[in-house]
Amino acid sequence: MKKTLLVFIFITSIITIKAQSTIVDSIFVGGIYRNYRLYVPALYNGSTARPLIFNLHGYTSNALQQQQYSNFKPIADTANFLMVFPNGTKDGSNQPFWNAGMSSAIVNDIAFLNALIDSLDLTYNINLNRVYSTGMSNGGFMSHTLACELSNRITAIASVTGSIFTTQYGGNCHPIRPVPVMQIHGTNDPTVPYAGSSTMMPIDTIVKYWVTKNNCNTTPTFSNVPNTSTTDGCTAEHYKYLNGTSGSSVELYKIIGGTHTWPGFPFGGSGTNMDMNASKEIWRFFSKYSLSTLTAVNESELLKNTLKVYPNPATSVLNFNLENETSIAIEVSDVLGKLVLAETTHTNSVSVDKLKSGIYFITVKTESGAEAKVKFIKE
């Protein structure tokens, strides 16, 4: 009987290890500890790199509430992605918040979220080609900020009831590539008005802004979301601005009569649209995009020299297909254009093992004057 009990405990322990789990942890950034919740689905085993989604809470809320509110768990369990729910810091009113234009001096949340990607990648097999951000209200504001200021790492974003502050709009947004954006917003939102305010941009203006940034079709495809719930007090319209640079797009779910809530949340009350599930639509949108396909290279240079590099992605050594060259000058830059490696080689290869994981561009120059530039991924 005792032996049988021990076997049962052992089997139960294995099941527990392989089951989905939420891990609560913190990292030290900017002189303070920043904590977060990480949801790891049961399908994850570390053998292949999996996508990572930031899910950012709203003003006065927290990571636990956002995890329960958005309910991505069944989607992550099926699609096998990791979802991290970071906590913001306290503002002058002692309320949790994200520094998405609300203050410039309190805390650097861009640095925190950027460091969190690196920290998670040390422990988990993260696909750095597929890191996304979504959020509710202030978390939606912060997702827009990430699209503007961390586009070298954040592939696409989705904002639910969030906007962009007027102080940020235009001049303080400098993505280095097209960033796919989904906006979900109610027309009767009393907290972040659809029509905007003295401090927040109108939602239609934000959508047009990203459509212009991404060079999408200015005329959207339109459809009504089937009104399957007739008691929620609202309906939904779907606008898709397609054919942007590198296949990018912008989507808007306009919730007619919708309030400051997350569509699909079953306890949101009147004004919470139940004709759609925002979390499912966000993953549908995110799953189409990877960072490498959205980071353009100069195709004229690529075609001119027909340079190929391999393996791509690379882990330690990058090779290229040049023959009969005695001396080759190599320059490697990151997606921000910063030179991270420069050397001369005689072996048609270069060591990249000291580079951090991410996307880079390698420029190869031969003694004859030929030059080519190719994008590669360092795992």
Please check the confidence at residue 312 and state whether its pLDDT lies above 50: yes
Residue 170: how many other CB atoms lie within 10 Å: 10
Q: CA-CA distance, 309 to 305, in Å (whole number)?
A: 12
Q: What per-residue confidence (pLDDT) applies to 105?
A: 58
Q: CA-CA distance, 215 to 212, in Å (whole number)?
A: 5
Question: Any idea what DSSP says for residue 365?
Answer: E
Q: What per-residue confidence (pLDDT) applies to 327?
A: 74
Q: What per-residue confidence (pLDDT) applies to 300?
A: 40
Question: Two tokens at 255?
Answer: 């919730």
Q: What DSSP string runs through 181-228?
A: EEEEEETT-SSS-TT--SSB--HHHHHHHHHHHHT--SSPEEEEEP--
pLDDT tens, position by position, 185-244 = 999 999 999 999 999 999 999 999 999 999 999 999 999 999 999 999 999 999 999 999
Residue boundaries of the structural domains of the chain: 19-294, 299-378
- Reported as type and span, the H/E element at residue 178 is none
Q: What per-residue confidence (pLDDT) applies to 84?
A: 98
pLDDT band per the 50, 70, 90 thresholds, residue 370: low
- Fold for 299-378, please state it: Immunoglobulin-like (2.60.40)
pTM for the model stands at 0.78
Q: What DSSP string runs through 28-78?
A: EETTEEEEEEEEE-TT--SSS-EEEEEEE--TT--HHHHHHHH--HHHHHH
Question: Two tokens at 322?
Answer: 């040049």
Packed helices 138-149 and 109-123: angle between N→C axes, nearest 10 degrees: 80
pLDDT tens, position by position, 80-99 = 999 999 999 998 889 999 99
Question: Two tokens at 292?
Answer: 């490498």
How much helix, strand and coil, in percent to the nearest 5, is found in the chain? 25, 30, 45
CATH architecture of 19-294: 3-Layer(aba) Sandwich (3.40)
Q: What per-residue confidence (pLDDT) applies to 372?
A: 75
346 CB-near residues (< 8 Å, 6+ apart): 326, 327, 328
